Amino acid sequence: MDTRISTSRGLQGAVIVPGDKSISHRALMISALADGTSEIHGLLDAADPGSTLHCLRKLGVDVEKVDTALRVKGRGLHGLRAPMNVLDAGNSGTTIRLLTGILAGQPFPSTITGDESLRQRPMKRIIEPLSLMGARIEGTASQTAPLKVNGTFPLRAINHRMHISSAQVKSAILFAGLFADGTTRVSELVPTRDHTERMLGLTRVKSADSYAVEVIGGTGIQPQQFQVPGDISSAAFLIAAALLVPQSELRILNVGLNPTRTRILDFFRSVGGSVEIIRETTVAGEPIGDLLVKSSLLQGGIELQGKQVAELIDEIPVLAVTLALSGCSLTVHGASDLRNKESDRIRSLVLNLRKLGLDVEEYADGFAFQGKNTLLPAECDSFEDHRIAMAFGVAGLVLKGETVIKQSECVDISFPSFWHLLSSIERR
């Protein structure tokens, strides 16, 4: 499906973005391992969490919808059943990596795979630490899915120092640590999103050179009432749109404001964006608030590397497009992991920005461009990547003329209502 976007006259209204994808995955998995029935409210109804739900059902977890909530009957740490066939994680890297951490501690073999895109994404990053814990995990020759997991119970507790910034890897090890004999410790130089720690009631400790979190094997999980906040990574596209399109004022309701996720707000403000938190509360350990965004003149030059890249990794597509449309410059280094997402996001961004008439330099670990006042509408390829599609959808609201987003249905991965929502907030 192709979507055509025309120049906007302004955006206005109050909107709710879909539930946080990262929290939705974890709420499902933690509920499945709990000693009793949990309820999840606000779960993201999209393809990726759907893949997690599908896999959990194959492992014997009973899930039913009750009104607007999901009721998950947890089977405890030792109650999962051997799946009858291969588990399918679809396009979801979170599903395959986190669930492999759980499967590593099961007393039965299993195989988990995904679609063509997911089968190209690197899995060595979880295979190595989980193997050190005693699991036997076999991938392809290039260390990709499908993964054959021969679980072991109990696993060995390890003290693991992260070599890459990845909340998925950290969470996989912490989940495996629930099935280990002893205390498993994970330390990281750059603090990545900490939803797993918060939801399991773990404490992160800062030392002189790292951040560490520990989990004690065999610790039971109590059933909970989860309230999934709006996904700030999804909200970022609407924030960018409201900042860029003149005569816009948008209120985005109930957005998750976890401090490991809000660097994007600091970024928008640093280039002159009017983004205000107007109500903040805490629900189930996660800060939540409303955002008021007004159209703004953005200016300046930005350089991202190291810790900054780790904190903004999912938002780099939309921030790149935002700066490009504002005539600002951007240099990104240390972002080679962008090449291992749903698409090679460095290449996807570079190719589409060049279509808009921007001179972009591509590096192995990033890209750079100088500001240009006038860009042109074009036919942009989504590369079947939801964040690329939405980022250039935002561009279409600003460019003079009609912009086409190819294979735009890929937004169903995280934000199925995105195209309809853009139309609904158009100033009449």
Question: Splitting the chain (428 residues) into consecutive groups of 10 residues, what average pLDDT does each group show?
Answer: 96 96 97 98 95 98 95 98 97 97 97 96 97 97 97 96 93 98 95 93 87 96 95 97 98 95 95 95 86 96 91 95 97 95 97 98 97 93 98 98 97 96 90
pLDDT of residue 211: 92
> What is the per-residue pLDDT for 5?
97
CA distance 216 to 348: 42
Which residue in the block uniquely carries the two structure tokens 């390829």?
381
Mean pLDDT of the chain, nearest integer: 96
Q: What percent of the chain has pLDDT over 90?
A: 92
* The pLDDT value given to residue 427: 83
C-alpha angle 170-172-175 in degrees, rounded to nearest 5: 110
What DSSP line would sit under 272-325, residue for residue?
A: T-EEEEEEEEEETTEEEEEEEEE------EEEE-THHHHHHTTTHHHHHHHHHH
Q: Any idea what DSSP says for residue 149?
A: E
**DSSP state letter for 118:** G
What SS3 state is found at 380? Answer: strand
The tokens for 74 are 């947890």
DSSP 20-51: PHHHHHHHHHHHHHSSSEEEEES---SHHHHH
Put residue 389 in one of left, alpha, beta given phi > 0 → left and psi -120 to 50 → alpha.
Answer: alpha
Shortest CA distance to 248 belongs to which of 118, 394, 388? 394
* CA atoms of 48 and 29, how far apart (whole Å): 13
> Does a cis peptide bond (omega within 30 degrees of 0) precede residue 109?
no
Q: Are 96 and 126 spatial neighbours (Cβ–Cβ below 8 Å)?
A: no
| Peptide bond preceding 18 in cis form (omega within 30 of 0) | no
314 is catalytic: yes
For the stretch 275-279, contacts whose Cβ atoms lie closer than 8 Å and that sit 24 or more positions apart, written own/partner, are 275/239, 275/243, 278/251
CA distance 152 to 137: 11
One of 314, 337, 381, 385 is an active-site residue; which one? 314
Token pair of 344 as six digits: 């090679």
> What angle (nearest 5°) sits at the alpha carbon of residue 230, between those of residues 407 and 324?
50
Helix axes 316-325, 386-398, angle to 10 degrees: 20
* DSSP H or E segment with residue 200: helix 195-200
User: Which tens digit of pLDDT belongs to each residue from 145-159?
Assistant: 999 999 999 999 999
Q: 250 and 15 in contact (C-beta within 8 Å)?
A: yes
pLDDT, position 200:
95
Helices (H), 113-179: 124-132, 167-177
**Domains of the chain (ranges plus CATH)?**
3-19+229-424 (3.65.10.10), 21-226 (3.65.10.10)
8 Å CB contact between 1 and 26: no
How large is the angle between the packed helices 263-270 and 316-325, nearest 10 degrees?
10
